[in-house]
């Protein structure tokens, strides 16, 4: 009996020491995370790097593209996005070569913006100045919007994977047709094949179809603006951090949850539904408000919200041009 008590005490002591070690190790890793983020991210430092400028340019021109794609188009929209895009384009060209794809797409979006306003009373002196001082754009630097037909997208949903992937777009305007729970469950069930660390499957999918709840959610999240009154279904993807172990796995819930969310978006596309992933990068107030509204336990972390709906017969989406393959590949010999 004494041996049993001694063994039990040793186990408890070992467990307590391990917990203390993990806590101190976590603090050390979080400090490293903080330092890395502080040195890298926009808004955390005064000098912008090449990557910072490329990110700011992309974010600004995509904001304009979204405005250009709206059915209820508002002439003269996006003053802040225009100004930010022009300012960052000017900063970029002072430091770096102007053949960069993001830089060229930014210019092309400004061309599209001015072209959309042809014949109106709007005069964009700031845009015209930067466009006049730039070289002609090469082919393939397209920005703006593209017109899509629902039939073309749904016909490709059962096509080869490359064709399937190329026909998925983020949809911000949906038809009035309701999405059935059975359709959503089929897509979620297909997504269960997502890989996860040690097969932990810590993701959760919450279906939200109550219009009042969706309105409140979108108001807190401050992302998608629904102009046509057709509020989509929202699927909230969360991940349970209780499945993680030790300081090394502090990001695991986000990694596994992110993979599940992407698989779910593809699954919804496979079943002919349009989607738009909505950011869950929340501040403290937003986090608290959404946890209260949606009854999200503290152990779960937000991954993203996915707007889901049926396609309109015809609609426009941002061009969302992709960067060159060579820009993302690195070879280590």
Rounded-to-integer distance, Cα 175 and Cα 150, Å: 10
- The predicted-structure confidence for 100-116, as pLDDT tens digits, reads as follows 999 999 999 999 999 99
The answer to whether domain 147-317 has CATH 3.40.50.300 is no
Given this model, what pLDDT does residue 228 score?
Answer: 57
**Any alpha helices (H) in the chain, and if so which ranges?**
2-40, 50-68, 79-95, 101-116, 125-132, 150-156, 161-166, 181-191, 211-221, 252-270, 284-294
Closest by alpha carbon to 69, among 119, 106, 112, 122? 112
Helices (H) and strands (E) in the chain, counts: 11, 6
Instruction: Indicate if the pLDDT at residue 306 is higher than 80.
Output: yes
- 147 DSSP β-pair partners: 316
All structural domains of the chain with their residue ranges: 50-143, 147-317
User: Which residues, including other chains, have CB under 8 Å from residue 72's CB and lie 6 or more apart?
Assistant: 227, 228
Given this model, what pLDDT does residue 68 score?
Answer: 95
- The predicted-structure confidence for 156-181, as pLDDT tens digits, reads as follows 888 889 999 999 999 999 999 999 99
Percent of the chain clearing pLDDT 90 (strictly above): 75
Place of tokens 């911000």: 172
Given this model, what pLDDT does residue 67 score?
Answer: 94
Q: Which own/partner pairs from 290-298 qualify as long-range (CB within 8 Å, at least 24 positions apart)?
A: 290/217, 290/220, 290/221, 293/213, 293/216, 293/217, 293/220, 294/206, 294/208, 294/213, 294/217, 294/236, 296/206, 296/236, 296/238
């Amino acid at each position: 009996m004494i041996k049993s008590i001694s063994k039990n005490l040793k186990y408890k002591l070992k467990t307590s020491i391990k917990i203390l070690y993990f806590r101190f190790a976590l603090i050390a890793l979080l400090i490293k995370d903080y330092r890395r983020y502080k040195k890298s991210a926009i808004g955390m430092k005064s000098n912008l790097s090449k990557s910072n400028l490329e990110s700011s340019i992309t974010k600004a021109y995509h904001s304009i593209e979204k405005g250009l794609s709206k059915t209820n188009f508002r002439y003269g929209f996006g003053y802040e996005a225009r100004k930010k895009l022009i300012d960052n384009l000017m900063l970029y060209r002072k430091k770096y070569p102007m053949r960069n794809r993001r830089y060229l797409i930014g210019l092309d979006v400004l061309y599209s913006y001015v072209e959309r306003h042809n014949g109106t009373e709007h005069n964009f002196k700031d845009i015209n100045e930067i466009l006049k001082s730039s070289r002609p754009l090469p082919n393939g630097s397209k920005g703006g919007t593209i017109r899509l037909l629902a039939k073309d997208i749904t016909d490709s949903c059962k096509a080869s994977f490359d064709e399937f992937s190329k026909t998925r777009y983020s949809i911000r305007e949906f038809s009035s047709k309701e999405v059935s729970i059975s359709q959503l469950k089929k897509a979620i069930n297909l997504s269960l094949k997502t890989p996860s660390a040690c097969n932990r499957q810590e993701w959760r999918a919450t279906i939200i179809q109550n219009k009042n709840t969706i309105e409140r959610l979108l108001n807190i999240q401050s992302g998608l603006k629904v102009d046509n009154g057709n509020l989509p279904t929202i699927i909230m993807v969360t991940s349970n951090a209780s499945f993680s172990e030790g300081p090394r796995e502090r990001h695991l819930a986000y990694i596994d949850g992110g993979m599940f969310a992407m698989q779910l978006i593809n699954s919804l596309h496979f079943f002919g539904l349009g989607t738009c992933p909505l950011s869950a990068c929340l501040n403290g107030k937003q986090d608290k408000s959404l946890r209260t509204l949606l009854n999200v336990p503290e152990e779960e972390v937000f991954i993203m919200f996915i707007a889901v709906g049926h396609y309109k017969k015809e609609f426009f989406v941002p061009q969302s041009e992709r960067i060159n393959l060579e820009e993302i590949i690195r070879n280590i010999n």
